[in-house]
Amino acid sequence: MSRWASYLVISALVLTTSAFAGSIIVNNDEWSLSNAGFSSAGVANGTNFAQNAAQFLTGGPSGGTTKIWIDSGNFGLAGSNLMSSLSAYSLTDTGSFSTFTLANLQGYSAVFLGGDNLTAAEESALVSYISGGGNVYIAAGTGSISGGSAGEAAQWNAVLNSFSLNLASTYNGISGNIATNSASPILNGVTQLYYDNGNSVSVTGANAQIITQTGGQGLIGVYSTSTSSAPEPSTAILIVAAFAGLGVFKARRRS
């Protein structure tokens, strides 16, 4: 194989990695999946949201073998209603934040986080996990991360900004049952969700969107490169070009 053909193949394969990145759901607030949130918005709404979110992140329970890790000590992710909603999955609930590495994150199809005080190394591990196909649900607005609302936003933005999502540095004061306004499958069967003073979500680039909002404030944001494992068109063209280049070089060597 010629040096130029090698460059073409390597370039094409490097570019395909973005097509296999994982997905993120970021909620401005933790109350939506708490027992109080289920009760206030209606158990059916909370259950559908939890199950839709898990389906979106993992592709489904696969006979109870799909692993989800709830790595949080926050009440918003510790309620019995959430546990019941996700009972079809192989669920690990550590009950508090655990120090994690890329290696232990990779043992799960999805990780649910909220109120976790992360180190820089853990933030980096989380970015690498998502970039490699991992999936994350983040609940903001907890008030339990060092530095208050600004500290909470800064910590999660160290992860989210790599995936075109951003949290506001001040709490938004939005409280109560807020009607959903999206056709996203994450909100199928969900007419309203409960919130209580979170960090509003915004979008900064491609592959991210706000799926529900109120008064111009983003309540839930989503990042996903694709619902298919196939490379994006531009990437596929590069791959074809790479292998076409291989053919050209081989033909020249034979002549």
Give the pLDDT of residue 251: 38
In this structure, what are the phi and psi dihedrals at residue 227, rounded to the nearest 5 degrees?
-90, 0
Give the pLDDT of residue 131: 96
Domain 23-224 is found in CATH 3.40.1560? no
Give the pLDDT of residue 226: 61
Give the pLDDT of residue 16: 40
Give the pLDDT of residue 81: 98
Handedness of CA 99, 102, 106, 110 (dihedral sign): positive
With a cut of 50, list the residues of the chain below it in pLDDT. Answer: 1-18, 227-255
Nearest to 182 by CA among 161, 201, 168: 201
Listed by start position, the domains of the chain span 1-21+231-255, 23-224
Handedness of CA 226, 227, 231, 234 (dihedral sign): negative
Give the pLDDT of residue 189: 97
- Written as one letter, the residue type at 144 is S
Contact between 191 and 172 (Cβ < 8 Å):
no
Residue 19 contacts by C-beta under 8 Å, 6 or more apart in sequence? 225, 226, 229, 230, 231, 232, 235
